[in-house]
A and B are shown apart, each in its own frame.
Chain A
Amino acid sequence: MSALTETPMQRERATTIYEKSKPGRRAAALPEAEVPEAPLEELIPAQLLREEPPRLPEIAEPEIVRHYNRLSRRNFDLDSGFYPLGSCTMKHNPRLNERVAALPGHARLHPAQDPLRAQGALELMWLLQGSLAEICGLPHVSLQPSAGSHGELAGLLLTRAYHADRDETRSRVLAPDTSHGTNPASVTMAGYEVIKVATNERGGVEIDDLRAKIEEAPDQVACLMLTNPNTLGLFDENIEEIAALIHAAGGTLYYDGANLNAVMGQSRPGDMGFDIVHVNLHKSFSQPHGGGGPGAGPIAVSDRIEPFLPRPQVVRREPNGRGPVFDLDHERPKSIGRLRGFQGNFGVFVRSYAYILSLGADGLAEASETAVLNANYLKARLAEGRAGKYAPVAFDRHCMHEFVLSGKPMKRELGLATLDLAKRLLDFGFHPPTVYFPLLVDEALMVEPTETETKESLDAFADAVEQILAEAESDPEIAKQAPYTTPVRRLDEVKATRQPRVRQPLDVDAA
């Protein structure tokens, strides 16, 4: 790219806040000490004190604001455009939720506050627990896990505790080859071995393979981790049979709730036979993703798993006929223990509860209906024309909230990789779909539009894909070199891993 075609954003070289620092500048004014200003050495032994303060930036407030505002413009975000990132449920984040989370009664409430003086917070948690239990079809909920992967770890530790309580030791956790990467990672972290189960021609679990994997060592089967609808966006029609097989072997059935947005008010994991479910509040329940967190991953469980839930658990008591009192129950002798500090990501609970209140029973069911409708419409649009030719849907049947395309013909006939299509989409103002996942689909593109997109957005996306493919038929190099309009163009990721440079060197104070 020549300087003439550079965008203004590209002409601005990335400058870190440390490079903008000048000795002596500052933003903060602190309160007066109001107490005797004893030398620190009189309070703390000198050998425990640091000699030089950490080299934080020295910069005035207006420049801090400008710096981060400029950085923000180097991000693409959900509020700016269509973000069909599969498996991530990029739905609109209502701002009401931010407003209620910021109320001082929530935002400035200390987590160690006496439960009797935090009744509103505990009641909110109790109400959210009840709502999630109803949505999942399982009676007991712990809000403690901090994210989906944390919920998975919790579910596996619960499984271990459940079996240990029955004097059983089991070593194997089954997971389909289409599973999210967090599933096998959690399995290893929980001290189990991962056993992969194959996928059938309909995109579901291959029952014969599942049976074979169980029969290899039935008394070693601890758990089957499943996403339903799965990562292909397809509902596994054999789920009842799968559940029966796992339960007959004595294992638990774990539901990765990443795809719950497809089935809210339509079908419930508990009714499908699952014992443990995690819910990503940052997916289905509208907590903003924050550029990679925060989220929360509450779990819902069946009666037989309940005794082992993490502590503390939010409970409702009715002492001596007085009104209800909400409390934190630490007296749980079979509990797996804590998974983190305090009670969980309460600020996320406030937002998600506000979302559930806003939508209500019908609204949640309608959200899932619209998510499924939007996905099927976009799938139909992408089956037309060039997209259908070069990137056909991987398992061609009605999908749930997302679907997976395979860019294999595109690569073969146009020499264009899925990555190239994704990068060219950036120039058209779209966030690309999830790429190269699930692993069993060659050149995969996983598309999840969500219910908060209009038909016009979906059409515009389909039109852009068509246009990119038409362009590639005449000159594939355009997409192969894309993007052109973004703050930076393709980045050297190999270098960043081979010679990691993960902090700013500050050998010399910034001049």
Chain B
Amino acid sequence: MLAAIGVDSVEALFEQIPEPLRLGRPLQLPDGMSEAEVYERLAALAARNADAEAEVCFVGAGMYDHYVPAIVDAIVSRSEFLTPYTPYQPEISQGGLQVMFEFQTAMSELTGLPVSNAGLYEGPSSVASAGYLAIGATKRRRFVVSRGLHPHSRETLRTYSVGYGAEVVEVGLEGGLTDAAALAATVDDETAAVFLQSPNFLGGVEDVEALGAAARQHGALLVVACDPMTLGILKPPGEQGADIALGEGQPLGNRLDFGGPSFGFFCATEEQIRRMPGRIAGETEDVDGRRGFVLALQTREQHIRREKATNNICTAQALNALGAMVHLAWLGRQGFRELGELLARRTAYARERLAAVEGVELLHDAPVVREFAVRLDAPVDAVLERCAEAGIAAGYALGADYPEYADGLLVALTERRTRAQIDALAEALGTAVAAERDAFPAADRGDFDPDSGHNAPRRERVA
């Protein structure tokens, strides 16, 4: 090979790198390992994580321990889906393109909006992409955001807003739901978009249609983040006046994976189709009249439009969207609805069960589907530690994100959480709260410190 190139060593090929810039030493990394050694090394790391097989997981907050059917693993691990690049050559990418088209159809059905893209990175950055779209659509630069929107989404929107230049104004919650009067008073003629989430971060199902009136009145876009697993029973955002419905797709066919990779979905009205971020597959024909699929509307995208693109996204989450599509096909029309019903009923049971526990009360009584919030009469972190010792991840402590709910705990259900596990959670919480109350009477607990999100003085934690 060197002779064909006309050099006598591989080093000669690297001579185009100026000598001072050549590393000239090995990287300070370990030597390579055999496959078996790498496996053992990573298995040892994995063993130091308390995963949802090691403890019963009632933690949600945007990602949920659903059962992913075996056929999802089988299909997404096929080389033909796992190893191609983005379908730039449609003639040899019909499988992937058709999956995108089927996925878009499914997400459009779920959200009740006619246009879906083929997926974005994940939930919160999809919210920020909606902000960018809204600026382009309205030429305004002010966002009104419910505090019911996931804290990560709100923070991501703020991060992006510093770049594209927008102001973010928050509206608080009242009784577990967005404060409608405050929202109406905050939206104005400079508002590009109103951001809601339903069910919101505290689990409450919002009346999106009523809240959205303020957006309509002032010509702002209504952006609704939603949990796809609730859309088998909840009215779709598209039927409630949403211009954009989006969200974290993980509950559909994707593992927890400590937070990713998953995908974001993004659906909109026809009016926004040429402003959409990300890939969109479209149906067309080949020269012989055969049905086929291509990447449509590519003139929106960075590789064609460069600085005038509607978004900078390139690599998205095609494989994760495939997992979602297979999961949705497996659930099917009836199964998807039944799953929603199951979640709502088990959650109602869990909520009632926990509310009856001494030292536990509901944080709000708004309607919920799969997640609800309670208040604990004991430091939340300490209670969570005690529950973990009993093999239960009892929920998500709200204090760090919501100083106003320092005693709040968010509890999530999936179809994997059985009645027996819910009963065990109630018992563990009751025991833990009682033990903490005995050990640390209220007077000794110290005031809540909003900076740390914990009560001070915080008990020292042991590794």
**Which residues of chain A from 189 to 206 have any CB-CB distance to chain B below 8 Å in the complex?**
189-191, 194
- Partner pick for A291 among B23, B93, B231, CB 8 A cutoff: B93
Contact (Cβ within 8 A) B312 A347? no
Contact (Cβ within 8 A) B26 A361? yes
User: How many residues from B make CB contacts under 8 Å with A?
Assistant: 202
Query: Known: A27-B332, A64-B330, A160-B163. Contact between A96 and B39, CB under 8 A?
Result: yes
A-facing mask of B365-398, CB < 8 A → 1, else 0?
0010100000000000000110010000100100
- Asked if A285 is at the interface of the complex by the 8 Å CB criterion, the answer is no
Inter-chain contacts of B69 with A (CB < 8 A): 27-28
B234, B273, B317, most chain A CB atoms within 10 A: B317
Contact (Cβ within 8 A) A116 B461? yes
- Asked if A252 is at the interface of the complex by the 8 Å CB criterion, the answer is no
Contact (Cβ within 8 A) B46 A100? yes
In the complex, which residue of chain A has the Cβ closest to the Cβ of B350? Answer: A35
- Interface segment out of the listed A10-18, A386-394, A409-417: A10-18
- Partner pick for A319 among B52, B114, B322, B463, CB 8 A cutoff: B463
- Partner pick for B288 among A1, A57, A344, A364, CB 8 A cutoff: A1
Query: Known: A38-B345, A146-B260, A147-B314. Contact between A502 and B53, CB under 8 A?
Result: no
- Partner pick for A239 among B21, B164, B281, CB 8 A cutoff: B21
B15, B78, B298, most chain A CB atoms within 10 A: B78
Minimum CB–CB distance from B405 to chain A (whole Å) comes to 16
- Asked if B318 is at the interface of the complex by the 8 Å CB criterion, the answer is yes
Interface range on chain A: under 10, 10 to 19, 20 to 34, or 35 or more?
35 or more
Contact (Cβ within 8 A) A31 B150? no
- Asked if B145 is at the interface of the complex by the 8 Å CB criterion, the answer is no
Contact (Cβ within 8 A) B85 A103? no
Query: Known: A53-B337, A77-B82. Contact between A325 and B463, CB under 8 A?
Result: yes
Query: Known: A58-B332, A240-B18, A503-B115. Contact between A14 and B292, CB under 8 A?
Result: yes
Contact (Cβ within 8 A) A123 B48? yes
Inter-chain contacts of B43 with A (CB < 8 A): 100, 103, 105
Contact (Cβ within 8 A) A346 B5? no
Query: Known: A14-B98, A14-B291, A118-B50. Contact between A56 and B336, CB under 8 A?
Result: yes
Inter-chain contacts of B280 with A (CB < 8 A): 500, 502
- Interface segment out of the listed B103-111, B183-191, B214-222, B427-435: B103-111
**Which residues of chain B from 59 to 88 have any CB-CB distance to chain A below 8 Å in the complex?**
59, 61-63, 65, 69, 71, 73-75, 77-88
- Partner pick for B163 among A47, A190, A359, A376, CB 8 A cutoff: A190
In the complex the two chains form, what is the Cα distance from A340 to B45 in whole Å?
25
Minimum CB–CB distance from B463 to chain A (whole Å) comes to 5
In the complex, which residue of chain A has the Cβ closest to the Cβ of B58? Answer: A110
- Asked if B29 is at the interface of the complex by the 8 Å CB criterion, the answer is yes
Inter-chain contacts of B21 with A (CB < 8 A): 239-240, 267, 271-272
Contact (Cβ within 8 A) B282 A502? yes
Inter-chain contacts of B299 with A (CB < 8 A): 497
Contact (Cβ within 8 A) B258 A57? no
A-facing mask of B274-310, CB < 8 A → 1, else 0?
0000011111111110111111111101111111110
Inter-chain contacts of A337 with B (CB < 8 A): 155-156, 158-159, 162
B-facing mask of A460-504, CB < 8 A → 1, else 0?
000000000000000000000101001111111101110011111
Contact (Cβ within 8 A) A123 B45? yes
- Asked if B255 is at the interface of the complex by the 8 Å CB criterion, the answer is yes
In the complex, which residue of chain B has the Cβ closest to the Cβ of A75? Answer: B95
Contact (Cβ within 8 A) B104 A120? no
Inter-chain contacts of A108 with B (CB < 8 A): 51-53, 65, 255-256
Query: Known: A340-B121, A372-B14. Contact between A348 and B260, CB under 8 A?
Result: yes
- Partner pick for A500 among B255, B297, B309, B385, CB 8 A cutoff: B297
In the complex the two chains form, what is the Cα distance from A80 to B93 in whole Å?
13
Contact (Cβ within 8 A) A503 B105? yes
In the complex, which residue of chain A has the Cβ closest to the Cβ of B300? Answer: A497
- Asked if A237 is at the interface of the complex by the 8 Å CB criterion, the answer is yes
- Partner pick for B248 among A31, A120, A341, CB 8 A cutoff: A341
- Asked if A223 is at the interface of the complex by the 8 Å CB criterion, the answer is no
- Asked if B143 is at the interface of the complex by the 8 Å CB criterion, the answer is no
Contact (Cβ within 8 A) A104 B286? no
In the complex the two chains form, what is the Cα distance from A1 to B91 in whole Å?
15
B-facing mask of A21-33, CB < 8 A → 1, else 0?
1000111101101
- Asked if B441 is at the interface of the complex by the 8 Å CB criterion, the answer is no
- Asked if A338 is at the interface of the complex by the 8 Å CB criterion, the answer is yes
Contact (Cβ within 8 A) A400 B335? no
Inter-chain contacts of B283 with A (CB < 8 A): 496, 501-502
Contact (Cβ within 8 A) A30 B163? no
Contact (Cβ within 8 A) B94 A361? no
What are 14 sample pairs from A and B whose C-beta atoms fall under 8 A apart?
A: A26-B332, A26-B334, A27-B71, A28-B332, A33-B342, A43-B367, A103-B42, A116-B463, A147-B121, A149-B315, A372-B14, A493-B90, A493-B284, A500-B282
Q: Which 9 A-B pairs have the closest CB atoms?
A: A105-B46, A360-B32, A342-B259, A290-B319, A111-B259, A120-B48, A294-B261, A292-B318, A79-B79
